[in-house]
Amino acid sequence: MLIFRPLFDPSSSTWSYLLGERSSGEAVLIDPVFEQLRRDETLIRELGLTLKWTLETHVHADHVTGAWLLRQRLGSRIALSVDGGASGADRQLRHGDTVAFGSRQLQVRATPGHTSGCLSYVLDDESRVFTGDCLLIRGCGRTDFQQGDTASLYRSVHMQLFTLPADCLVYPGHDYNGMGLSSIGEERRFNPRLGGDVAEADFAGFMQHLGLPHPKKMDLAVPANLRCGRPEGDVQMPADPGWAPLNFSIAGLWEITPHALADVARRVQVVDVREPEEFSHGLGHIDGALLVPLGQLESRLGELPRERPIVTVCRSGARSARAAAMLGKAGFAEVANLRGGMLRWRAEGGAVVGAGE
Ligand SMILES: N[C@@H](CCC(=O)N[C@@H](CS)C(=O)NCC(=O)O)C(=O)O
Ligand SMILES: [Fe+2]
């Protein structure tokens, strides 16, 4: 079974794509974004996948790739075009190569034009193609820098992409119009730059008058991407919080397990956000916990310590997730949510006070 997750970076309008195989657990990630490291590594862990490769469609001009960070964190290897001029990759890809994850494969097609080293990746059964910035939905990549060339972009789209089956799904590298999916048949008919009866000279005319300002991050992104996303100088990995082993949640929170909390309980403030009767009866509470029902949290922030980490707790971990987010917004730097709440705390043998009375 194929596992497939499109992932969007709103600040650069970039699509990244995670493809995995359930039986082998192997996965590849196309065009990861530097700032989305935590989201991507969390999703890969939650889905039980091993990231084998990060694949670049090209040397991006508008954002920095997450390839190098993911290699440091997860041991994935970096593959990109031999023609893009980047150094530091584990594998240089050429037209006709294949990249495997488990028993599945992506076929590499050279589709230059937006840049000289643009690649598209076609899934083994030709059901999907990842076009990078060669073919966008009803658009295409610009051709006014990085050896961009309208004639070669026109040829790439017509010879390498429009020759795929009409129902092959098109996954672009960016979308600026809120679109996430198209098909080869649709783009052949409706792409205003390259579809229908548009000839190469018409296309060149269109592109000469695109009039786009250069990407805002271009001067930072291109050199960084030529190093596969390795930061310059002393490398600062984004540090995980040091006060306990925590997991990042895609919802944007740090989470702690009952076992990890038991180890650090004396050094943190547990804030229990249930109602008073839940705190004193039923499941009971963790020794030393401060009771601040969720509805009162905002008005009682002054009672909470700023010098110690805070762990928020409730029955199941849901209300306390909301509380952790509120505390983060209020400037508390070290906050984690007890995942699974008192139910999981008790199920895993955690000690309680005031239970069942
Ligand atoms: N406004 C964006 C730049 C967007 C841009 O230039 N995108 C490139 C892809 S790297 C492109 O080819 N865009 C084609 C288009 O918008 O038609 C930024 O500052 O980052
Ligand atoms: Fe691009």
Residue with the smallest CA separation from ligand 1 atom 4 is 215
What is the C-alpha separation between 139 and 190, in angstroms, rounded? Answer: 10
Residue entry with tokens 């949640």: 249
- pLDDT at residue number 239: 80
134 CA distance to ligand 2 middle (Å): 8
Confirm or reject: Cβ of 350 under 6 Å from ligand 1: no
Q: In what order do the strands lie in the sheet with 128-132?
A: 98-101, 104-110, 119-123, 128-132, 169-172, 182-183
The answer to whether the beta carbons of residues 34 and 64 sit under 8 Å apart is: yes
SS (H, E, C) 17-56: EEEEECCCCEEEEECCEHHHHHHHHHHHHHCCCEEEEEEC
Q: Which residues of the chain have pLDDT under 70?
A: 234-237, 357
Confirm or reject: Cβ of 212 under 6 Å from ligand 1: yes
What digits encode the pLDDT tens for the residues 325-344?
999 999 999 999 999 999 99
142 CA distance to ligand 1 middle (Å): 7
58 CA distance to ligand 2 middle (Å): 7
Ligand 1 atom nearest 216 alpha carbon: 19
What digits encode the pLDDT tens for the residues 209-268?
999 999 999 999 999 999 999 988 766 667 889 999 999 999 999 999 999 999 999 999
Confirm or reject: Cβ of 133 under 6 Å from ligand 1: yes
187 CA distance to ligand 2 middle (Å): 19
- pLDDT at residue number 356: 75
- pLDDT at residue number 233: 76
- pLDDT at residue number 106: 98
Helix (H, G, I), strand (E, B) or coil at 298: helix
What is the C-alpha separation between 106 and 31, in angstroms, rounded? Answer: 14
Q: What is the pTM of this model?
A: 0.92
- pLDDT at residue number 40: 98
Confirm or reject: Cβ of 215 under 6 Å from ligand 1: yes
